[in-house]
């Protein structure tokens, strides 16, 4: 390996993060290369220098304050709560999801079919009270005709004018 490559591995080397093979090559190289061994020394010096910033302690009431705050969160058995809230979680969740989904779809399909069936026979399907077809008007012996359609509709105001609606 060339010096540049060795130098780029020195940082990981001092952390013990190079492979066994690379470590052996680096060790062998620095034993006979002054420049790389000097680079290694500097890298270690950087680490030693950073070690001068010693640890600081938390305040005495740190834990007390933290645990008081934590109490408000109320430690709950999340896993059990999660299962209750998410019925489709866990093994068989997909099957349950498909089953419930199909049941809901069937329910709505049934509703649609039922409503169509009842609507077709329902007495509720009648012309609106303020409109009346020309056939009905003819039966009532009025002479109002439509120029373009036999299904001409009259408004309530027209019927009132014609005297067929009070």
Partner 1 sequence: MRVSDEELMRRCCEGDTGAFELLVMRYKDSIFNFTYRFLADYHQAQDLTQETFLRLLKNSERYKSRDKFKPWLYKIAANLCKNEIRNKKRHPKISLDEYIKIENPIASSYSSPDEAYERKELSHLVKDILASIPEDQRMIILMREYQDLSYEEISSALGCSLGAVKSKIYRARQNIKEILIKQEIA
Chain residues binding partner 1 by CB under 8 A are 8, 11-12, 15, 17, 42-43, 45-47, 49-59, 62-63, 65-67, 69-70, 73, 75-82
What is the C-alpha to C-alpha distance for residues 28 and 137, in angstroms, rounded to an integer? 113
CB of 53 to partner 1, least distance (A): 4
Q: Residue 48 or 148: which CB sits closer to partner 1? A: 48
CB of 47 to partner 1, least distance (A): 6
Q: Residue 7 or 132: which CB sits closer to partner 1? A: 7
What is the C-alpha to C-alpha distance for residues 162 and 141, in angstroms, rounded to an integer? 11
What is the C-alpha to C-alpha distance for residues 22 and 6, in angstroms, rounded to an integer? 9
CB of 3 to partner 1, least distance (A): 15
What is the C-alpha to C-alpha distance for residues 99 and 105, in angstroms, rounded to an integer? 10
Radius of gyration of the chain (CA): 44
Other Cβ atoms less than 10 A from the Cβ of 26: the count is 22
CB of 83 to partner 1, least distance (A): 11
């Amino acid at each position: 390996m060339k010096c540049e490559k060795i130098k780029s591995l020195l940082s990981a080397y001092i952390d013990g993060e190079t492979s066994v093979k690379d470590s052996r090559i680096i060790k062998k190289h620095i034993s006979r290369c002054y420049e790389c061994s000097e680079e290694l020394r500097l890298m270690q010096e950087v680490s030693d220098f950073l070690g001068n910033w010693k640890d600081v302690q938390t305040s005495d009431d740190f834990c007390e304050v933290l645990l008081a705050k934590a109490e408000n969160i109320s430690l709950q058995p999340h896993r059990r709560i999660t299962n209750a809230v998410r019925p489709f979680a866990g093994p068989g969740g997909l099957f349950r999801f498909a089953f419930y989904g199909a049941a809901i779809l069937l329910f709505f399909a049934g509703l649609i079919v039922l409503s169509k069936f009842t609507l077709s026979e329902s007495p509720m399907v009648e012309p609106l009270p303020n409109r009346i077809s020309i056939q009905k008007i003819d039966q009532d012996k009025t002479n109002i005709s439509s120029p373009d359609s036999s299904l001409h509709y009259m408004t309530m105001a027209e019927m009132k004018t014609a005297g067929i609606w009070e």
